[in-house]
Amino acid sequence: MIPVPYRVRSRRPDRADTVTLTLDPVEGAAPPFLPGQFTMLYAPGVGEIPISISGHARAGGYVQTVRAVGAVSRALCRTRRGEIIGVRGPFGTHWDLGLAHGLDVVVAAGGLGLAPLRPVVRHLAAHGSRFGRITLLVGSRTPSTVIYPRELARWARDFDVLVTVDHPDRAWRGPTGLITKLVGRAVFDPARTYAFVCGPEIMMRATASLLADRGVRPGRIALSLERNMKCGIGRCGHCQLGPLFTCADGPVVTYDMAAPLLEVRQL
């Protein structure tokens, strides 16, 4: 429960309320992470929250994208270059890219759900030949809340990237409406497909059930669950979902395991 000091090497405001921080340990090396894992970021004197790791920094630290929604995330977004914050982790289960080798891949990200999926997408972009047809689906509230817009443009050169928004502005030419609409437009062979899905729970349930309806095996649909977490190591009890401690047995779980739990109201 004791955070390690990390220095904010760079701070890049992505959008109005979102900031991407690059964090390096003040001493030594950052422990290795797997795509989908998260850290507990401590804003000194304010509090500590779970934030996904969105990538490796060149010197071996972490890239993490934070949306300012409350006291702690706001404090983290306000930190400046050179400042020190606390980090614990990485924690949790990961997106298992090995299981998708040789299969078509669908990545579906709702809103900030792209943050934990970014290492997956970067891996797909770098090692496309190991996979079948790759599709990235992104849903966002408005065009201006789409995170990593420049990378999305680059990834679009390597595979299908479809972005939809709930509320288009005048300049928007792309699809509008829920991300589930994009599932129908994605090209993949359901019997030979692995899916990585992350976003608000309602979006994940809808997307996963649609993918399953189209014939993707529930055991090949991976989701990242979000629950209130105070410790990240299965101790505080807050993140329980039935038998699962979401922080340690998750956040990444497969749909066959999650579906019966997510179906229960307020579990």
Ligand X SMILES: Cc1cc2nc3c(=O)[nH]c(=O)nc-3n(C[C@H](O)[C@H](O)[C@H](O)COP(=O)(O)OP(=O)(O)OC[C@H]3O[C@@H](n4cnc5c(N)ncnc54)[C@H](O)[C@@H]3O)c2cc1C
Nearer to ligand X, 73 or 254 (CB): 73
Q: Which of ligand X, another protein, none is residue 231 near (CB under 5 to 8 Å by kind)? A: another protein
Site for another protein in 54-83 (CB under 8 A): 69
| Token duo for residue 198 | 């992350």
Q: 77: annotated binding-site residue?
A: no
Is residue 32 near another protein by the rule CB under 8 A? Answer: no
Q: 231: annotated binding-site residue?
A: yes
Whole-angstrom distance, CA of residue 67 vs CA of residue 74:
8
Is residue 200 near another protein by the rule CB under 8 A? Answer: yes
Nearer to ligand X, 66 or 182 (CB): 66
Is residue 234 near another protein by the rule CB under 8 A? Answer: yes
Nearer to ligand X, 81 or 141 (CB): 141
| Token duo for residue 211 | 């993918």
Is residue 49 near ligand X by the rule CB under 6 A? Answer: yes
Binding mask 196-235 for ligand X (x = CB under 6 A): ------------------------------xx-x------
Binding site for ligand X (CB under 6 A): 38, 47, 49-52, 65-67, 69-73, 112, 115-116, 226-227, 229, 251
